[in-house]
A = this chain, B = another copy of it.
């Protein structure tokens, strides 16, 4: 991977980190354990891909980080809450996340449920508070962006994908179409929302929004297939979570459906589709190309 790109990414992630910390730099009228549990997962070394994508996109389309500061913190909180709930015993039952015990292993299942709820709720509080402080002329863009974000994280997006994933576990008739629905919704929706929110806040035109959506959907689906592939090809230390869990859970994945090689070919196809969308964009797309590399070519 391009060294400068990685450095740039880490720098932006650091800024996101500081802003997220600032979101918790206040007194809460709540028992300490819930704040501690929220922070445990939020500050567990995530790569901040979604908020970084949103901020960089807003800049590339002519806006500023300030325009999306709150909203980009919100999207990371939403992503984090979904991981906490995904790991619960009744869901994926994962004991490890990013190499550390999952939230419910540390705080108990009841607090983990509530910490997830609390992060989703606090994401909205953060975003709404951000809209309140936007200049008058940008408020309607702020409302539209929050609308896009919440659609992407709800039943028509991420939650729908997660439901599909849960149902897939005991589905004897799993097929490529169902799996594509899961991939595009569980991961693609929120990544795409990051791009859309950034460009909407910068006032991008409809054509650009359509292309950036195509790019987002492609890298989002690729991202999920890469996850499936890594579960087979990587090891627990590199991945930071148990490998071969899909096979143990009898989960249908792109690998179990098509085999490892075809799954890797699919990643390449989506990678190329992402690049085609970029070809038509009239802004500097170098960052997006590097990001596609970063997502599609990690660890193999």
The answer to whether A262 has its CB under 8 Å from any CB of chain B is no
Q: 8 Å CB contacts to B: which residues of A93-114?
A: 108-111, 113-114
The answer to whether A156 has its CB under 8 Å from any CB of chain B is yes
User: Of the candidates B110, B122, B156, which one forms a contact with A155 in the assembled complex, judged by CB atoms under 8 Å apart?
Assistant: B122
**How many copies are assembled?**
2
The answer to whether A6 has its CB under 8 Å from any CB of chain B is no
The 9 closest A-B CB pairs, nearest first, are: A30-B160, A90-B109, A121-B154, A30-B155, A34-B163, A90-B110, A29-B156, A125-B150, A118-B159
Find chain B residues with CB under 8 A from A163 CB.
Answer: 30-31, 33-34, 111, 114
Name which of A127-135, A217-225, A277-285 contacts chain B: A127-135
Query: Contacts A131-B143, A150-B121, A154-B122 known; A164 to B116 CB distance under 8 Å?
Result: no
**A-side binding surface: helix, strand, loop or mixed?**
helix
The answer to whether A272 has its CB under 8 Å from any CB of chain B is no
Quote the shortest CB–CB distance from A31 to chain B (angstroms).
Answer: 5
The answer to whether A232 has its CB under 8 Å from any CB of chain B is no
The answer to whether A20 has its CB under 8 Å from any CB of chain B is no
Contact, CB under 8 Å: B156 / A30: yes
Query: Contacts A113-B90, A113-B91, A143-B132 known; A121 to B159 CB distance under 8 Å?
Result: yes
Contact, CB under 8 Å: B125 / A34: no
Q: 8 Å CB contacts to B: which residues of A20-77?
A: 28-31, 33-35, 38
User: Of the candidates B31, B124, B139, which one forms a contact with A124 in the assembled complex, judged by CB atoms under 8 Å apart?
Assistant: B124
Contact, CB under 8 Å: B113 / A85: yes
Query: Contacts A28-B155, A128-B146 known; A33 to B114 CB distance under 8 Å?
Result: no
Contact, CB under 8 Å: A125 / B154: yes
